[in-house]
Amino acid sequence: MLDELAARFDDLEESRKALLQDLGARTPEQLSFQPEPTAWSMRQVAEHLWKVESAFLKAAQPPGAAGRLSLRNRLLRPVLWVIFRLGIRVQAPTRRVLPTESLDLAEIETRWQSTREDFRAFLEAIAPDQLSMARFEHPIAGPLTPVELLAFLSDHFAHHHRQLRRIAAAPGFPA
């Protein structure tokens, strides 16, 4: 894997492992606790994080095929980064990545591990001349190169990690 991708991917993988280790130490009541009726539980956050990675990987395109940044993408991309960095709550831009009630944490972990292995293989196949070519499409941010996608996933992960801390600090969180 190219150095530009390897360090970012390894950081993302370490974050995933630490998150799953933390969630694995939680009780079923803690994993399913929702601080508000419309808020996500810890389990749902983990499922969403996996589904986002899976959706990007499934929709990966040949080098450069993701198109060009539109004016809308150019204007909204910085807004998206600010939203993630400030921890502002927003709705997922597509229903494909919304959590369900049917997967337990063990199943999420198994599927996420499989997705990560496929993602690693995908990134290992990227040649140096393909590094700056858009391969992924975000509904708001627009076309993303592999490096931009890894940066997005890292920011997205950090955004939801803060959400997990808020859930654990919410009134009524099970002991």
Taking only the tens of pLDDT, the chain with its 175 residues reads 999 999 999 999 999 999 999 999 999 999 999 999 999 999 999 999 999 999 999 988 777 666 666 777 677 777 777 777 777 777 777 788 889 878 999 999 999 999 999 999 999 999 998 888 888 888 877 888 899 999 999 999 999 999 999 999 999 999 9
The CATH number of the structural domain formed by 3-169 is 1.20.120.450
Domain ranges of the chain: 3-169
Report the candidate in 158, 168, 171 with the shortest Cα–Cα distance to residue 22.
168
How many alpha carbons fall within 13 Å on the CB side of residue 69? 13
Number of residues in the chain: 175
pTM of the predicted structure, to 2 decimals: 0.87
